């Protein structure tokens, strides 16, 4: 079906829905790299004006990638709850934005319709929303998940402790874990990106973090972010795997380029569930996504990168994850050129995920070849805290020495707690209080060299 809009006697035409969505998208380098972005500012507004009139029912009825050729499309269609959709199906995209912003559309309303929000619907409405709209609606779209901590509760924000090391050295990783714990970080997960992929090395990492968690009673979960097939193998071999990680994308072809499909994710989830390691909940999956991943695998089917990204959340949603985060500025300037584009993408991704009922966190980050710096990251961090982000990354000094990019630091988390009064996950907060790492007001204390936890952790590091 074709769309059009006339401005001052000039009629702008869009041959199909995917073109309309792409042209309506805020400008970003990746859509121009793909050749799908709007040719002018007025064309972009014409697309938005036309998109505002399209009903949600029509979007659902017209899959952007054919049902027959893409298992992500099949997942989106087959899992769609008609009853929940009835409440919003007749709204136009423009009115859906209005409806989302009403005070009468509450947390309960949003959680009721979340399963009926398809990625294309979330992406479509986001393209008509300003940054402040994305913040306000995300704020009331609460999504909670649990394993050994409970995430996503109001007034709280968690942190993934990311203690990477260039050669997966146990003592180097432990040193960063200690730094993070002493700064009150790690309630989302202690998640290591390994430099290598040899199973015996990875097995040692799983056991090492498990040792920290069990020896000191840290209420959190561990993850070693390697390929899902290696994690399935590790579970078979008896490794203490808490969360299973995988990068996912929004098209079958892009997932194929990652060496995965939905059946493998299902198998991995079953394997993790069989270990029954969660004490509070059985959200055992951890997914990472990011705009541009489908295009970089030449698997975007002519879709804009933000719509592709929202489709990745449909993949994530199917497997009831504990954590999903967009690694928003990691991919480079050919997809998100500068601070403005990274900030916008971070807010869109967080909004789309939350609206679809996915526990979204954001890796607020950039690479050194992007036109961005720490000030841009401060802006996005602050906006995401206002939007109720589930978790952020915590990396010593914001400098990931293995992956060579800048993310957010333990200090950045402290900044948000101070500026917004955000608390830790409740179980982790109790532990920090017992360990005397935070005071009753939730502020960080300063452990001295004789602190028993610090000493025990340091001894463990020396012995590793």
Partner 1 sequence: MSTRVPVKIEANPWADLRRFTDARIALGRVGASLPTEEVLKFGLAHAMARDAVHAALDPAALTSALAPLGLPCLEVHSQAPDRPSYLLRPDLGRMLHPDAATGLRARNSTCDIAIVLADGLSAVATQAHAAPLLSALLPLCHPAWTLAPLLIARQARVALGDDIGEALHARLVLVLIGERPGLSSPDSLGAYLTFNPRRGRNDAERNCVSNIRPAGLSYAEAARKISWLMGEALSRQLTGVELKDDSDVPALPGAANSGLNLA
Other C-beta atoms lying within 10 Å of the C-beta of residue 335: 26
174 forms part of the interface with partner 1 (CB under 8 A): yes
Using CB under 8 A, which of the segments 84-92, 169-177, 315-323, 430-438 binds partner 1?
169-177
Number of residues that bind partner 1 (CB under 8 A): 64
Nearest to 289 by CA among 345, 344, 234, 371: 345
Q: How far apart are CA 464 and CA 460, in angstroms?
A: 6
Residue 125 vs 385, nearer CB to partner 1: 385
Nearest to 249 by CA among 335, 125, 164: 335
Site string for partner 1, 25-64 (x = CB under 8 A): ----x--xx-------------------------------
Cα 164 versus chain centre, distance: 19
Q: How far apart are CA 251 and CA 257, in angstroms?
A: 10
Residue 10 vs 167, nearer CB to partner 1: 167
Q: Are 353 and 326 in contact (CB under 8 A)?
A: yes
Residue 94 vs 442, nearer CB to partner 1: 442
Member of 130, 215, 266, 411 binding partner 1 (CB under 8 A): 411
Residue 95 vs 371, nearer CB to partner 1: 371
Nearest to 241 by CA among 216, 278, 215: 278
Member of 227, 253, 320, 426 binding partner 1 (CB under 8 A): 227
Beta-carbon contacts of 374 under 8 Å, excluding residues fewer than 6 positions away, are 398, 406
Residue 39 vs 196, nearer CB to partner 1: 196
193 forms part of the interface with partner 1 (CB under 8 A): no
Q: How far apart are CA 109 and CA 399, in angstroms?
A: 40
Nearest to 14 by CA among 6, 4, 25, 22: 4
Residue 15 vs 166, nearer CB to partner 1: 166
Site string for partner 1, 236-275 (x = CB under 8 A): ---------------------xxx----------------
169 forms part of the interface with partner 1 (CB under 8 A): yes
Member of 26, 37, 63, 163 binding partner 1 (CB under 8 A): 163
Q: How far apart are CA 391 and CA 19, in angstroms?
A: 33
Q: How far apart are CA 186 and CA 191, in angstroms?
A: 9
Tokens read off for 219:
């209420």
| Binding-site ranges for partner 1 (CB under 8 A) | 29, 32-33, 163-166, 169, 171-176, 178-179, 182, 196-200, 226-227, 229-230, 233, 257-259, 332-334, 337, 367-369, 373-374, 395-401, 404-406, 409, 411, 414-415, 417-418, 444, 446-449, 451, 454, 458, 461
């Amino acid at each position: 079906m074709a769309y059009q809009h006339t401005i001052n006697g000039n009629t702008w035409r869009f041959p199909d829905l995917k073109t309309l969505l792409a042209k309506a998208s805020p400008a970003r380098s990746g859509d121009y790299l793909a050749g799908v972005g709007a040719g002018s500012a007025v064309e972009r507004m014409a697309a938005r004006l036309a998109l505002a009139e399209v009903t949600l029912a029509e979007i659902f009825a017209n899959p952007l990638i054919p049902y027959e050729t893409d298992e992500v499309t099949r997942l989106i269609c087959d899992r769609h709850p008609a009853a929940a959709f009835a409440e919003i199906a007749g709204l136009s995209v423009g009115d859906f934005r209005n409806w989302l912003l009403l005070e009468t559309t509450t947390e309960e309303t949003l959680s009721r319709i979340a399963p009926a929000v398809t990625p294309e619907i979330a992406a479509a409405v986001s393209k008509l929303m300003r940054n402040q709209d994305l913040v306000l609606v995300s704020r009331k779209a609460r999504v909670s998940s649990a394993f050994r901590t409970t995430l996503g509760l109001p007034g709280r924000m968690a942190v993934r402790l990311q203690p990477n090391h260039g050669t997966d050295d146990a003592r180097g990783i432990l040193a960063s874990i200690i730094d993070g714990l002493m700064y009150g970080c790690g309630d989302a997960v202690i998640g290591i990106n390994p430099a290598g992929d040899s199973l015996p090395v990875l097995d040692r990492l799983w056991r090492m973090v498990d040792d920290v968690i069990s020896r000191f009673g840290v209420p959190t979960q561990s993850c070693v972010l390697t390929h899902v097939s290696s994690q399935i193998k590790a579970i078979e071999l008896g490794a203490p795997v808490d969360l299973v990680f995988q990068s996912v994308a929004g098209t079958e072809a892009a997932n194929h380029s990652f060496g995965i499909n939905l059946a493998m994710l299902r198998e991995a989830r079953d394997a993790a569930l069989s270990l029954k390691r969660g004490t509070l909940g059985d959200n055992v999956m951890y997914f990472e996504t990011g705009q541009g991943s489908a295009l970089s695998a030449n698997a975007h089917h002519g879709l804009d990168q933000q719509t592709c990204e929202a489709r990745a959340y449909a993949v994530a949603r199917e497997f009831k994850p504990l954590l999903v985060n967009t690694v928003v500025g990691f991919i480079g300037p050919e997809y998100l050129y500068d601070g403005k584009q990274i900030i916008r993408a971070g807010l869109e991704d967080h909004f789309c995920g939350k609206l679809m009922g996915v526990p979204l966190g954001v890796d607020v980050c950039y690479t050194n070849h992007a036109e961005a710096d720490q000030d841009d990251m401060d802006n996005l961090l602050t906006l995401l805290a206002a939007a109720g982000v589930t978790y952020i990354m915590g990396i010593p000094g914001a400098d990931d020495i293995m992956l060579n990019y800048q993310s957010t630091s333990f200090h950045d988390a402290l900044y948000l707690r101070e500026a917004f009064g955000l608390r830790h996950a409740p179980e982790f907060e109790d532990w920090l209080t017992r360990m005397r790492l935070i005071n009753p007001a939730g502020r960080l204390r300063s452990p001295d060299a004789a602190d028993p936890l610090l000493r025990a952790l340091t001894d463990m590091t020396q012995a590793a």
